[in-house]
Structure 1
Amino acid sequence: MMSFLAQAFEYDIRIRLDDDRAPPNGVVILAEDITEGVVYENSGVKITAFEVNHTPVKPAFGFRIDYSGRSVVLSGDTRVSENLIRHAQNVDLLVHNVVSPETFQRIGVPPAQTANIIAHHTTPEQAGEVFEQTKPRLAVYSHIVLPNATEEDLIPPTRKIYSGPLELGEDLMVIVVGEKVEVRRPAKP
C-alpha cells in the first residue's frame, strides 16, 4: 500500500526536492505492516497494537500506549470488542469511537445505510458497557460517526450504563495524563 502512496505523491515530492523545500531524507516513507503485539518500544514508551472488530475490515487495530506508569488506549474503529476490553482494563484514558443512531434518523439517512454503518461501530449504550467493564480514569469520545452528532445524542444514552468520567472529544482538545487526568479545551472565539 505504501508504495502506491509514494507513487501517488511522486510529483509533489519531486517538486519539493527540486525547490530545496525539503531535505531528501525528509520525504522518505518509512512504513511497515504490523500485527498484534508490541509495535514500538523506546525510552520507556511502549505501544501495543491489538486487533479490534471492525468487520469487514481486517485487520483493524486499537492501540495501548504505556509510559511511566500511565496508560492510554485508542479504540480505533470498532464494534464492541472483547480484545479491546481486555487491553483497556483500568487505563488512565480510554479514547473510543462512537456512532449515534439518533443523528442518522434526525438527518434522514435511509435505515439500511444506517444499519450498515452502525454494524461496524459502537453505539453510546455499547460504549457505556465497555467503559463500565474497563473502568478508565477518563473516557473520551472521538471519531464520532457523523460529526454533527450532539452531546445530547451521545452522553445521555451512555449515562444509562456508565456514570464515570466522560468527555466528548473536540478538535484541539488537550488531555494531560498525570496524577490527575486533565482536559483542556480550546478557547472559544
Structure 2
Amino acid sequence: MNKITLLGTGCPSPSHIRYGPSTLLEYDGLKFLFDLGSGVTQRLSQLDIKPSELDSVFITHIHSDHIVDLYQVYISGWHTGREEPFTIYGPKGISDHFETILKAYEKELLNRIKWEKRPNEKGLEYEVIEIEENLNVSKENISISSIDVDHYPVDPAYGYKITLNDSKTIVISGDTRYSDNLIHAAKGADILIHEVFIELAFNEKRMSEQTVKNIEDYHTSPEDVGKIAKEAEVKKLVLTHFVPPVFDEEDLRKRISEHFPGEIVIGSDLLSLEL
C-alpha cells in the first residue's frame, strides 16, 4: 500500500506515547524517512520494516530531537542486511555531524566488523548530500524538493515537498515559524504535515521566562498553523511535533479550525494516511 506514516509525533520532552519526530513515505516499493527522532527504529519494527529497507533519509535541520537516532538507523540498517550505501540528504553541517558520530563509534565498529564477519560490508558505506541552494531529487514516480523555512537561530532549516506521479503533493514543514516560503510550496497540497507549539508551562527549576518565549518564538502557534493551511488552500492538515506531547486535543482543533475550515488530523504515532 502507498502511504505516509507518522512514526513519531513528539518533541524533545520524552514521551512513551509520542516518540521523536519522524515520518515515513512508502510509495511504489520505495521507502524514504524524514527525520530520525528518538525511537524511530522501534516504530519501524512495529510496522515490520527493517532499517535496511530504507532507500534514503532526509533531515530537516540539525536539532537533537530530529537527528538523535541517525547512527542507530545507519548501524541497524547494516545489522539487518543493507547491501547498498546509506544515503543522507540534509542541511549544511550534517556531513560533519555524521562524521563526528562515526568517529566516536570507530573503535567499537571496527571491533564488531572484525569479530562478526558480516558479508554486507558495502552496507557500511554512506553518502551524505548537503543541500546547497535547494534540493531536487527524483526517483521513479517520486520527486522531493527542499523548502527554506524559518527556524532561526537554527539555520539552515528545511521543509520538504513530495510530488507523486506529477500529481499528488505532500508537504512536510519541519520546524518553523509562520513561513511564506512554506505557504507558497504547499499551495493546493493534498496533505500538509505541520508542527505545532501549543504551550510550555513555566517551571523555574528547568527554564527561565526567556526560555518559554524563545521556544515559542521559533515554532508555529495553532492559530498560525490554521492561517498557513488556509492561505495555502491545502486539502488536509495533519499535525505533528506537538509541544508539549500531552495536550487538550479538542481545544487544539478549535483554535486551528477558527482559521482553517478544512480537514484537520491530530497526528499520533503510527498513524498512516493512504496515498
TM-score by length of 1: 0.84
Which residue is equivalent to 1:49? 146
Cα deviations by residue, 1:82-117 (Å, 9 ceiling, x for unpaired):
00000000101100010012xx23878653221110
Hey, what does 1:13 align to over in structure 2? 109
Residue pair 1:38, 1:46 contacting (<8 A) in 2 also: no
Aligned partner of 2:239 in structure 1 is 141
Within 1, Cα distance between the matches of 2:216 and 2:118? Answer: 44
Q: How many Å apart are 1:36 and its aligned residue?
A: 4.0
User: In structure 1, what is the Cα distance between the partners aligned to 2:158 and 2:267?
Assistant: 20
Matched, 1:171 2:171: no
The CA deviation at 1:127 is 0.3
| Residues 107-126 of structure 1 mapped to structure 2, 5 A cutoff | 110-126=208-224
Q: Counterpart of 1:60 in structure 2: which amino acid?
A: A
Change (3 A) 1:136 1:12: farther
Correspondence list, 1:28-177, <5 A: 28-68=125-165, 69-101=167-199, 104-105=200-201, 110-177=208-275
CA distance in 2 between partners of 1:63 and 1:35 (Å): 14
CA distance in 2, matches of 1:64, 1:143: 18
| Distance in 2 of aligned mates of 1:38 and 1:140 | 24
TM normalised by structure 2 equals 0.59
Q: How far does residue 148 in structure 1 lie from its aligned partner after superposition?
A: 1.9
Structure 1: how far apart are the matches of 2:272 and 2:211? Answer: 34
Distance 1:4 1:153, change over 3 A: farther
Percent of aligned positions that are identical:
29
Q: Secondary structure of the equivalent of 1:58?
A: coil
CA distance in 2, matches of 1:4, 1:58: 20
- Conserved? CA contact 1:124–1:158, under 8 Å: yes
- Between stretches 107-116 and 132-141, larger displacement belongs to 107-116
SS at match of 1:170: coil
Aligned mates of 1:48, 1:36 — CA distance in 2: 11
In 2, the alpha carbon distance for the partners of 1:34 and 1:107 equals: 38
Distance 1:155 1:115 in 2: 23
Letter of the aligned partner of 2:150 in structure 1? N
Aligned equivalents of 1:106, 1:113: Cα separation in 2: 9
Q: What number of residue pairs does the alignment pair up? A: 175
Aligned partners of 2:202 and 2:209 also within 8 Å: no
**What secondary structure, in the 3-state scheme, does the structure 2 residue paired with 1:105 have?**
coil
Identify the match of residue 3 of structure 1 among 99, 106, 109.
99
* One-letter amino acid matched to 2:142: V
